C-alpha cells in the first residue's frame, strides 16, 4: 500500500512541476506567474480541486513520443471565489509553450461541459503559443471543439478570459467569444497574425505590444475590457468581478450585505449639473453616489469614453449601469460607444441583471467618417439591444436627451419600466439654437435670439415629455438612489417575454 501511495505522490509531483524548474524560472524572470500560482491567487485558499492531472498527449510524430509531460500544458478543475463555485483552466507555458494539443483541448472541453451542466462560470487563463504544430489538424480540431462550447455557453454561464501571455492565431477566437477579457500590460498580447507575418505580407514594422498588446486592445480595438499592470492585479480584479455576476442564467444576481442605506440622500447631486448647458461634468460622480458604498466596476474604461458601462450594487444586488459621459465628446453617441453599450446591455439581459441608464446625450456624432463607417447600423445595435431587453430597466435623464439618441437610450418607447428626469433635463428633437435656425430660417439675429429664448422656455425642460407620459416622474437629484432602489424593488417580479423566435437578427 505504501508503495502505491508513494507512486501517487511521485506522479502528482511530476505533474505539478510542469516543464521543470528551469522553465518555471524563465516564466518568473518575465514577471509572470506559473499556471498553478495563478490559480492560487484567483481561487479561495485550498479550494482548488484538479482533474485530469495525469492526461498525456497522444502524438507520435517528430519525436513527440519521447516528450511526454503529465497534464499536457493545461491545469483544469474547479474551486471557489469568495465561496462561490467556478470551473477553471490555466494554460501552462512551461509545457510545450502552453501549445494546444488534442488532449489539451479535451481537458478544456471537459471543464466547460461540466460548468454548463452545473450552471457556474468558466474562467480561462490563456498563456499559449497556439496550436501544437506537431499534431497538425488534430490541434485545429481541438480549437474548434472549444469554440463550439464557447458558442453554446454564451448567455448560459458567464465566461471570463484572462490573457496572461501570448494568444495568437486561432487561439484568439475562444476568448473573443467569451463575455469579458482581461489582459496584462507588457506581458500579454492577442493577434491573428504576428509581427513577422505582418512585415512579410504588408511590409509594416510593428511590435507585439503595438499590434496586439493590452493597451491596444483596451483602447483602440475594444477586443479586451480591462488592462492591468501585473498577473496578480488581473487575478484579484477577476475575483472582484466574478462577485458581481450570477452563476448562470438560471440563478439570481448575487447579493452582498451592505450597511449603505437604500434611501440615502445625496445633497451634492443637486448641484452636479452646471448652470451652463455647454459645461461638462463627470457622470462617474453620479454613479458612485448612487451605488452601494461607491463600489463600481467599470468595463472598457479606456475605450469609447463618451459612454460608461459597468456593474454596481443597489441594496446589495448587482445592477448594470450605462451612462453617457459629458466629459468626453459631450457624451455624444458614436460608433464605438454604440457597440460598447449594446454588447453590455445584451450581457445584462442574458443574465437577468437589471439595467440603470443615466442619460445626458446631445445626439449622434455627425460627420463623413461616422456615416461611411456605418453609424446607422452600429447605432441600431444599441437600439436593438435596449428594445430586446426584458430585464428591469430604469432610466434617469439628467440633462440633454436630444433626437434619436433620446429614443435609443432606454426611452419609455423601448419598454423602459421607470423613466425619470431631473428638473435640469431637456428632452427635445434638438438643441434650441439649431431648432430655431431651421424653423425660422432667414430671420434676423435678434429675432433668432428671441425665438431661441422662447423655444428654450417651451421645450428645454422635462415637463413636455412628462405631460405625454414619456417621463414617469420629475425627481429631485438628491433622491436618485432612493428612487432607483424603490424601482428595483417594484420590478423584482417583472415578467415580460418577447414573441417566440429562434433568435433575432441583430444588425451586426
d(CA 88, CA 49) in angstroms, rounded, equals 10
Pick the closest to residue 323 from 358, 363, 297 (CA basis). Answer: 358
Which of 405, 410, 435, 466 is labelled catalytic? 405
Pick the closest to residue 17 from 70, 55, 67 (CA basis). Answer: 70
Pick the closest to residue 100 from 66, 72, 62 (CA basis). Answer: 72
Task: Find out whether 267 and 285 touch, Cβ atoms under 8 Å.
Answer: no
d(CA 344, CA 154) in angstroms, rounded, equals 13
Length of the chain counted residue by residue: 508
20 in active site: no
Pick the closest to residue 127 from 178, 78, 161, 102 (CA basis). Answer: 161
DSSP string, 293-357: GG--EEESTTS-TTEEEEEEEETTEEEEEEEE-TTTGGG-B-HHHHHHHHHHHHHHHHTT--EEE
Which of 119, 170, 316, 434 is labelled catalytic? 170
d(CA 448, CA 91) in angstroms, rounded, equals 67
Which of 119, 194, 404, 434 is labelled catalytic? 404
169 in active site: yes
453 in active site: no
DSSP lists the bridge partners of residue 418 as: 394
Which of 124, 169, 403, 487 is labelled catalytic? 169
Cell numbers linked to 210: 503595438
d(CA 500, CA 484) in angstroms, rounded, equals 31
d(CA 458, CA 435) in angstroms, rounded, equals 12
Pick the closest to residue 132 from 47, 191, 174, 73 (CA basis). Answer: 73
End-to-end Cα, the chain, rounded Å: 62
25 in active site: no
CA angle (416 as vertex; 415, 417 as ends), nearest 5? 105
Active centre residues (catalytic):
169-170, 404-405
Amino acid at each position: 500500500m505504501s508503495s502505491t501511495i508513494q507512486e501517487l505522490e511521485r506522479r502528482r509531483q511530476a505533474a505539478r512541476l510542469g516543464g521543470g524548474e528551469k522553465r518555471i524560472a524563465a516564466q518568473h524572470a518575465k514577471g509572470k506567474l506559473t499556471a498553478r500560482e495563478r490559480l492560487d491567487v484567483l481561487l479561495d485558499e485550498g479550494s482548488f480541486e484538479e482533474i485530469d492531472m495525469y492526461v498525456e498527449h497522444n502524438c507520435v510524430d517528430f519525436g513527440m513520443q519521447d516528450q511526454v509531460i503529465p497534464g499536457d500544458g493545461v491545469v483544469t478543475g474547479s474551486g471557489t471565489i469568495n465561496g462561490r463555485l467556478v470551473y477553471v483552466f490555466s494554460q501552462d507555458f512551461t509545457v510545450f509553450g502552453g501549445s494546444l494539443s488534442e488532449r489539451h483541448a479535451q481537458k478544456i472541453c471537459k471543464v466547460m461541459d461540466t460548468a454548463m451542466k452545473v450552471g457556474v462560470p468558466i474562467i480561462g487563463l490563456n498563456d499559449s503559443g497556439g496550436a501544437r504544430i506537431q499534431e497538425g489538424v488534430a490541434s485545429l480540431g481541438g480549437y474548434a471543439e472549444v469554440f463550439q462550447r464557447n458558442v453554446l455557453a454564451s448567455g448560459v454561464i458567464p465566461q471570463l478570459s484572462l490573457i496572461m501571455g501570448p494568444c495568437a492565431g486561432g487561439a484568439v477566437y475562444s476568448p473573443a467569444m467569451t463575455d469579458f477579457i482581461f489582459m496584462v500590460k507588457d506581458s500579454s498580447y492577442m493577434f491573428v497574425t504576428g509581427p513577422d507575418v505582418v512585415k512579410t505580407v504588408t511590409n509594416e514594422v510593428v511590435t507585439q505590444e503595438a499590434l496586439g498588446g493590452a493597451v491596444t486592445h483596451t483602447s483602440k480595438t475594444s477586443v479586451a475590457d480591462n488592462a492591468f499592470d501585473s498577473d496578480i492585479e488581473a487575478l484579484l480584479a477577476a475575483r472582484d468581478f466574478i462577485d458581481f455576476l450570477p452563476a448562470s442564467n438560471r440563478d439570481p444576481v448575487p447579493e452582498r450585505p451592505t450597511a449603505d442605506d437604500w434611501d440615502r440622500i445625496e445633497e451634492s447631486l443637486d448641484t452636479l449639473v452646471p448652470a451652463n448647458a455647454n459645461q461638462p461634468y463627470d457622470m462617474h460622480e453620479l454613479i458612485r453616489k448612487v451605488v452601494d458604498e461607491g463600489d463600481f466596476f467599470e468595463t472598457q474604461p479606456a475605450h469609447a469614453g463618451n459612454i460608461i458601462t459597468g456593474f454596481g450594487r443597489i441594496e446589495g444586488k448587482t445592477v448594470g449601469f450605462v451612462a453617457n459621459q459629458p466629459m468626453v465628446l459631450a457624451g455624444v453617441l458614436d460608433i464605438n460607444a454604440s457597440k460598447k453599450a449594446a454588447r453590455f446591455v445584451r450581457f445584462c439581459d442574458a443574465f437577468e441583471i437589471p439595467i440603470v441608464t443615466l442619460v445626458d446625450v446631445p445626439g449622434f456624432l455627425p460627420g463623413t467618417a461616422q456615416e461611411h463607417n456605418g453609424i446607422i447600423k452600429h447605432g441600431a445595435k444599441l437600439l436593438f439591444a435596449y428594445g430586446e431587453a426584458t430585464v428591469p430597466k430604469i432610466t434617469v435623464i439628467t440633462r440633454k436627451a436630444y433626437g434619436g439618441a433620446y429614443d435609443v437610450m432606454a426611452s419609455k418607447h423601448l419598454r423602459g419600466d421607470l423613466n425619470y428626469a431631473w428638473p435640469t433635463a431637456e428632452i427635445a428633437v434638438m438643441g434650441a439654437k439649431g431648432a430655431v435656425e431651421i424653423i425660422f430660417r432667414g430671420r434676423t439675429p435678434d429675432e433668432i435670439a428671441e425665438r431661441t429664448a422662447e423655444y428654450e422656455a417651451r421645450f428645454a425642460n422635462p415637463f413636455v415629455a412628462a405631460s405625454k407620459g414619456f417621463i414617469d416622474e420629475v425627481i429631485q437629484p438628491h433622491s436618485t438612489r432612493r428612487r432607483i432602489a424603490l424601482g428595483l424593488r417594484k420590478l423584482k417580479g417583472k415578467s415580460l417575454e418577447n414573441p417566440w423566435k429562434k433568435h433575432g437578427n441583430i444588425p451586426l
